Copies of this chain bind each other. A is one copy, B any other.
Amino acid sequence: MGDYYAVIMAGGGGTRLWPLSRKDRPKQSLKLLGDRTMFQLSVERLTPLFSPERILVVTSAAYAADLHRQCPSLPEANFVLEPAPKGTAPAIALSALAIRRRDPGGLMACLTADHFIGDEARFRDVLAAAAQVAGRGFLVTLGIKPTYPSTGYGYIQRGAGLRTLGEWEVYQAARFKEKPKLSEAEAMVADGLHSWNSGMFIWRVERILAEFARQMPEFHEQLLGSQAAPESLARIWANAPTTTIDYGIMEGADEVAVIPADGLQWSDIGSWESLLEVLAPDEAGNIVVGAEHLGLGTTGSLIHSSRGARRLIATIGVSNLVIVDTGDVLLICPRERSQEVRAVVEQLKQRRDGAGYL
């Protein structure tokens, strides 16, 4: 078996954490949890399972320099640049080829750059277990125990049990279901047979490239051709289908396994409220990040500032409030309505003078 590589997918944008996340400042570059960016945390939690030489980053040229500044220990050659965002499928194919050049027998773990994982030792343990399964030829997905009937996540139905590795159970993946209707989601959470799709995958590079050859043959062939003629990549990329690895490959793939990766304390931090769920509150029940805070009768609130020192946020008698101060924008909303920042972002897009805040 070849070496084990991690590929951190760090090309995403998104405004769910506006006003901190912006067009030019995606979630992976934010210091949501303290003094380290999400990307830094994503890289650092891989040690000691992966050395910096074995950690690749797939992202756009626009983000690469900033990401490299965040993690200068990563070799510059490990940044795999997508010519444009095309979803996770093309990005993973490009990364798989980059690894195959180094090690035709290599294994790769495709990981996210913008998720919270509370138990990092446990995370490395399941990645190590997944490598064992991937070495046997499986496409392995990490599942997450669903805690509510989300209609925004994908679900994986577990099939027959395959084996046990330490405390991890490995199952055949019977079915993928992306973004279900609420009734479907409720049924899947209730039946105890489904995991959320974490978007994290482990496989041999040869194995996933074989799936690309079978399921996306035209793109695969062109991409192979670009390996000898890098100047052709941008053109190939422009013609590539925009699709996720889930839709483009996993749903039609053979020999797919799922490992329920329970206990990771995983969260995709899809809203400000979710930060309140993953971080440990202080004695008063609040989470204060980057702010000098003085609270009287203040509970259950998130106070997040990127303003730095010599700026006091004083709150009196507020509960379950989200307060985010980026300097140019101040957001205040109840935690249970923090999803509605999308509506604010939409309004700003309509405003003549709103672009500066996006």
> Distance (Å) between the CB of A56 and the closest chain B CB?
37
Asked if A331 is at the interface (CB within 8 A of a chain B CB), the reply is yes
Please name the residue on chain B nearest to A340 by beta carbon. Answer: B316
Q: Are A316 and B330 in contact (CB under 8 A)?
A: no
Asked if A160 is at the interface (CB within 8 A of a chain B CB), the reply is no
Selected from B317, B333, B357, the residue in CB contact (under 8 A) with A317 is B333
Stretch touching chain B among A93-101, A212-220, A256-264, A320-328: A320-328
Stretch touching chain B among A171-179, A243-251, A305-313: A305-313
Asked if A230 is at the interface (CB within 8 A of a chain B CB), the reply is no
> Quick one: which of A30-45 are within 8 Å of B by CB?
none
Q: A294-B344, A332-B332 are in contact. Are A357 and B312 (CB under 8 A)?
A: yes
Selected from B294, B327, B331, B356, the residue in CB contact (under 8 A) with A314 is B331
Q: Which residues of B contact A325 (CB under 8 A)?
A: 330
> Distance (Å) between the CB of A321 and the closest chain B CB?
7
Asked if A337 is at the interface (CB within 8 A of a chain B CB), the reply is yes
Q: Are A317 and B334 in contact (CB under 8 A)?
A: yes
Q: How far is the CA of A313 from the CA of B337 in the complex (A)?
A: 16
Asked if A147 is at the interface (CB within 8 A of a chain B CB), the reply is no
> Distance (Å) between the CB of A357 and the closest chain B CB?
5
Asked if A329 is at the interface (CB within 8 A of a chain B CB), the reply is yes
Asked if A77 is at the interface (CB within 8 A of a chain B CB), the reply is no
Q: How far is the CA of A329 from the CA of B325 in the complex (A)?
A: 11
Q: Are A333 and B315 in contact (CB under 8 A)?
A: yes
Q: A294-B347, A296-B343 are in contact. Are A19 and B314 (CB under 8 A)?
A: yes
| Given pairs A314-B332, A330-B330, 5 additional interface contacts (CB within 8 A) | A294-B348, A311-B328, A313-B332, A316-B332, A317-B334
Q: Which residues of A come within 8 Å of B, CB atoms?
A: 19, 294, 296-297, 310-318, 321, 323, 325, 327-334, 337-338, 340-341, 343-344, 347-348, 356-357
Contact sample, A vs B, 18 pairs, CB 8 Å cutoff: A294-B348, A296-B343, A296-B347, A311-B328, A311-B330, A312-B329, A312-B357, A314-B341, A315-B331, A316-B331, A316-B333, A316-B343, A317-B337, A318-B321, A318-B332, A321-B332, A325-B330, A330-B330
